Amino acid sequence: MTIEQIPRHIAIIMDGNGRWAQNRKLPRLEGHRRGGKIVEKTALDGVSLGIESLTLYAFSTENWKRPKAEIKGLMHLYSQYLVGIRPMMMKNNVRLVHIGTIEKLPDKLLRDLSESIEMTAGNSGMVLALALNYGSRIEIVDAAKKIAQQYKDGKLSLEDIDEQCMSDNLYTAGLHDPDLLIRTANEKRISNFLLWQISYSEFYVTETYWPDFGKEDLEKAIVAYANRARRFGSIKTK
């Protein structure tokens, strides 16, 4: 593959932690623990492959409906991993950003998240975007409210409100739209993830559960992407 065939931005819906654990007669939280370790490995794989941005769907706004014990365990694991991946991010020039809302997140997790973002803010390599407490519909509503307020304040005219204006007011402002969206565990749903941003993304589904996801799986997805003709609504010309 040439560098032109490598997607600039890959987004991943990390699925299958619970089923991975259940298949091994382990608690669901063990699947999440294993899945957390794969985050660091995948980030390193992204760096080695020359990916500019990697967005990982860690926790959705709908995930609060899960059992309280599982949520508590997940929040604790997120804090652990946010601290644990700091050396990797600093060594490999990775910059961490958060997409989502901070509402409902525990204080300790917020501190660990903020400190990791601040620590890596000066890094200029791959951007690791963590979608934590993220929901795309809420994101779009929030963007619409921001635009409406800017219009009310006289900072925007109706003519200023276009697709770029909307993109600039999303949580992902400043990030290139994903070229490739990967979902693990053979699920074929979008699950309220980056609805605006994936308008022209290529979609790749793998049967591999997230805790088993490795560099080979990532490379297969990239090869599939490289072999597709992206038309962006047009037709192929000779």
Active-site residue set: 15, 63
The rounded distance, in Å, linking the Cα atoms of 95 and 122 is 7
The count of C-alpha atoms lying within 13 angstroms of the C-alpha of 203, restricted to the half-sphere facing its C-beta, is 14
Contacts of 174 (CB under 8 A, 6+ apart): none
| Nearest CA among 58, 76, 124, 57 for reference residue 96 | 124
Strand 95-99's sheet: what is its strand order? 95-99, 127-134, 53-60, 9-13, 180-183, 202-205
Q: Is 130 helix (H, G, I), strand (E, B) or coil?
A: strand
State both tokens at 184.
Answer: 């693990």
* 11 in Cβ contact with 204 (< 8 Å): no
